[in-house]
Structure 1
């Protein structure tokens, strides 16, 4: 389903347009060079700049990162369950599998990164920018999201089931499969998202789509509502011709 833009007529109510995410840039003014061995499960680390490190297989559960920047870091099978990232920037992060359920991402930028499978369910996300990323299976089921902008990013499968989302926007993005079963959407702008498959179309209430996307969603919406779509005039014409014959 192709992404598109909608244009509102002059004089239309501004309330008809979804509110954009309100993002805040991380405060990284006091960074210091550091090493990976400073990161320990359950500890708090501040103002750390970490470059070209390998955190693969590490237990960093319940770790708190405040005002940190990571660049070119490998995090294959790293455990970030219940971790807290506040005022952080992650650049060129690489992970085949990233485990971070029940974590907190607040005022975070994730850019130029590659994650094969990302478990981010039951998490708390506020003011998060994802830009120019390549993500495989991304699980945000049950997550509370406030102010999320995803830009120039490709996602194989995105699970938003049970999500509580406000002010979410996609720009120049693609997703193979979008899953939505339950949850609450408010000011969720999907117009910049190309969707190939949508599962759970009945849970799209509260989202904004383009007219082109709506046309492509029509068969799924009809199926969800139990609508039978036929060309009645055509059927009547066939019956009339049959009687005349």
Structure 2
């Protein structure tokens, strides 16, 4: 009985541990979902604010907002393309590693631009704009190059697969239409076989002996004898002549 109680207690503890583990997993997954939703909402709000500043505020503030907006849009688009493509194309993992290094420079530049937006010394900020603009253009150009290269690679693979598929379909279509270009179909056999043709006999025999009749074939006379005259009962028999 004590052994049964120990086993039951262990089972209860095991079920409790499994339940706790499952609860923790669910809570973590829910937390990740909430964090992702909050991050996306915060990013959307910040992008909308930058877009409004780039149009509404002229001068240094508007240009800083425009630089941040172009930087963030290019980096986000490239990240989405590379991450989605790396799932099916292992060659893009190296490009994704390069993008991670580029992202470090992008985050550093974005942080610097954000700080300059709140800097009260607009004159000093304006002096730094040419260098900031050049850095932004270089990072955006590198990100765009990676993104369009990945897209061109995916399109190339899709075109190659489509070409191969079209070739196979053309071959199959040709095989299905074989009756238009192939040999004529074989004729069906007759219901009754035709008798074999008899070889023609050589009727003209020049400088040769007469042909002997074939076995089983009766010899035909040269002249057909006349048929015997029939006798009737009313006719009298002729008497023999006397020799005396």
* Higher Rg: 2
| Length-normalised TM-score, structure 2 | 0.20
| Length-normalised TM-score, structure 1 | 0.20
Structure with greater strand share of residues? 1
Structure with greater helix share of residues? 2
